[in-house]
Every structure is written in C-alpha cells, then in structure tokens.
C-alpha cells in the first residue's frame, strides 16, 4: 500500500489532515520541515505515493522541497496547500497541484485517493513490464 507524506509546520493543521487520511485507511507519515521530509523520502521514497505540503515552512518553502524531490522522484504527485493566493509562480514547471486553504475535507480525501490510485496503477504496470 502506498503511503502519504504530510509536510506542515503547524501541528494543528498537520494533525487534522493526518486524522482525516488515517480515517480513510491511508498510511500517513509526517514531517515539519523540508529537511525532515527529504530525509524521510531518501529512506522510504519508494513506498510514498504522494506528498502533501504546505507552502510556508520554516527556513525553506514547499517549492524548495519539490525542487529537491524532483531530482530523485520526478513523477511523485505533490499537492501544495496554501492560505495565500499567488504562489503558483514559485511552482512553475514542477508539476504540482495547488489548492488554497481552506477547502472541504471530502475534496482533500478525493484528491489524495485519486493520486494514490494512479500511482499504484503505475507501479503495478512498471512491475509487470519488468517481469
């Protein structure tokens, strides 16, 4: 089963999203900054089906995270959440979905499940091709 990495420095937001996804049966890992997210992805990136990150993080932002993860995981789906409009330019060419907060939990669940389903299908296809 593919997992989700949630990245946010706000413990309340992180916990709410974690609970929403866990209640849907999703395996969730959390990180509170870019460095810890990248460290986790180096170890377990092959098990992660998507990353959900806040744009504003301490020290470095979500765009910094995505630029680095694209070096080793170019196709990994990323959902960027932000309470501030106008961040799209920071993600030009990085192939991410951007959603402004707040948005309904059902939309969050739908987006995550859709991404995980697509990733799972792609991994199964590539495994079949390598057999």
pLDDT digits (tens, 9 = 90+) for 14-38: 999 999 999 999 999 999 999 999 9
pLDDT of 2 reads: 81
What is the edge-to-edge ordering of all strands in the sheet holding 48-54? 28-31, 3-7, 48-54, 78-82, 97-100
Note the pTM of the prediction, 2 decimals. Answer: 0.91
Domains and CATH numbers, the chain: 3-130 (3.40.50.2300)
- Report d(CA 16, CA 34) in Å as an integer: 20
Task: Report the C-alpha gap between 121 and 60 in whole angstroms.
Answer: 32
């Amino acid at each position: 089963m593919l997992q989700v990495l949630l990245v946010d420095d706000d413990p309340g937001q992180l916990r709410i999203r974690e609970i929403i996804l866990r209640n849907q049966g999703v395996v969730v890992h959390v990180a509170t900054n870019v460095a810890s997210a990248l460290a986790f992805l180096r170890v377990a990136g092959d098990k992660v089906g998507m990353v959900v990150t806040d744009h504003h993080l301490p020290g470095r932002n979500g765009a910094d995270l995505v630029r680095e993860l694209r070096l080793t995981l170019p196709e990994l789906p990323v959902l960027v959440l932000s309470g501030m409009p106008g961040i799209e330019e920071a993600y030009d060419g990085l192939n991410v979905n951007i959603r402004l907060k707040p948005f309904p939990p059902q939309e969050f669940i739908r987006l995550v499940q859709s991404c995980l389903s697509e990733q799972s299908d792609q991994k199964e296809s590539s495994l079949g091709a390598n057999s």
